[in-house]
């Protein structure tokens, strides 16, 4: 067994061992199962899982099973560069972005926020410095509303009534019931709209990326100025953008109708 480094931190190593207990074959684990796979007693595992949940690295479903949370991605963007989704996104999103001259973002849900996992910037008409790893509120952004609409009803209700739905602009929807109704419309149409909800002069649309298991892997958003978000120009851009989402989903193995918002399994299966 190799010697430990002089400044080796045992508690940190054990926390990482807990994360390493999860795999493709063991994506959901109970406390006792984590204890068995790590060799740590259940009391210690409870402390580690509580800490990892607080930091967003683990999540827990209603069956008290733990699974890896999106926070893990914030530590592993070098790995993300090698994933199937990232490679597909680079090809399809980059081509679309260059063709229409617009910035696009791909994001996943992390609680009441979204994390950008890919961004293709063409020209900046915002003062924000956004990049892979950046976080934004989910309740008022195009991709965020798309991802929220994909939660099961119980999880969505819980999130809307526990999250801080703070006002960003005069058009931000901050009432949980009003946002619920808006997200039900998102489910019905198959894509989301955030009209001046995050930036007062920005119209944003979000479409889902669906995999072969018919689960939403991520969402992509396209933002337009209010002048662009009118009439024939808006319809043309929207049709092209929906086709992009469909192409991304086909590349991920999805074969069903599109656009559609797939609803997550309430058991809490990790996406």
Domains of the chain, each with CATH number or no CATH: 10-68 (1.10.10.10), 74-251 (3.30.450.40)
What does the longest C-alpha to C-alpha distance in the chain come to? 68
Of the candidates 210, 207, 217, the one whose C-alpha atom is nearest the C-alpha of residue 244 is: 207
Of the candidates 87, 79, 81, 135, the one whose C-alpha atom is nearest the C-alpha of residue 107 is: 135
Give dist(CA 247, CA 225) in Å, integer. 25
CB 206 within 8 A of CB 259: no
pLDDT in tens, the chain (271 residues): 344 566 788 888 899 999 999 987 788 999 999 999 999 999 999 999 999 999 989 999 988 999 988 778 666 654 554 467 888 888 999 999 999 999 899 999 989 999 998 898 876 555 566 777 788 999 999 999 999 999 999 999 999 999 999 999 999 999 999 999 999 999 999 999 999 999 999 999 999 999 988 999 999 999 998 888 889 989 999 999 999 999 999 999 999 999 999 999 876 544 4
Q: Which long-range contacts (CB under 8 A, 24 or more apart) does 186-189 make?
A: 186/145, 186/146, 186/149, 186/261, 187/149, 187/261, 187/263, 189/259
Give the helix ranges, DSSP H, for the chain: 10-20, 31-38, 42-54, 77-80, 84-100, 142-149, 153-162, 176-189, 231-251
Give dist(CA 109, CA 127) in Å, integer. 23
179: its two tokens: 């946002």
Q: Which residue do the tokens 């958003």 mark?
A: 221
């Amino acid at each position: 067994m190799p010697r430990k480094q002089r400044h080796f931190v045992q508690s940190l190593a054990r926390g990482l061992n807990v994360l390493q207990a999860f795999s493709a074959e063991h994506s959901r684990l109970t406390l006792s199962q984590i204890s068995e796979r790590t060799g740590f007693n259940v009391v210690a595992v409870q402390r580690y899982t509580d800490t990892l949940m607080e930091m967003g690295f683990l999540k827990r479903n209603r069956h008290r099973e733990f699974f890896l949370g999106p926070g893990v991605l914030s530590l592993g963007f070098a790995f993300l560069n090698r994933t199937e989704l990232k490679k597909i996104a680079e090809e399809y999103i980059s081509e679309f972005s260059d063709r229409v001259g617009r910035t696009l973002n791909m994001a996943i849900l992390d609680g009441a926020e979204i994390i950008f996992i890919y961004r293709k910037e063409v020209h900046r008409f915002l003062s924000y410095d956004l990049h892979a790893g950046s976080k934004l509120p989910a309740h008022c952004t195009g991709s965020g509303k798309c991802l929220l609409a994909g939660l099961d009803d119980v999880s969505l209700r819980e999130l809307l009534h526990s999250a801080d739905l703070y006002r960003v602009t005069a058009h931000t929807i901050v009432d949980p019931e009003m946002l619920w109704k808006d997200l039900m419309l998102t489910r019905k149409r198959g894509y989301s709209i955030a009209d001046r909800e995050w930036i007062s002069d920005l119209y944003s649309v979000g479409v889902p990326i669906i995999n072969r298991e018919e689960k939403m892997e991520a969402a992509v958003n396209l933002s337009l100025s209010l002048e662009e978000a009118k009439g024939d120009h808006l319809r043309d851009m929207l049709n092209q953008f929906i086709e992009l989402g469909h192409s991304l989903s086909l590349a991920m193995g999805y074969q069903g109708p599109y656009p559609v918002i797939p609803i997550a399994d309430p058991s809490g299966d990790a996406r």
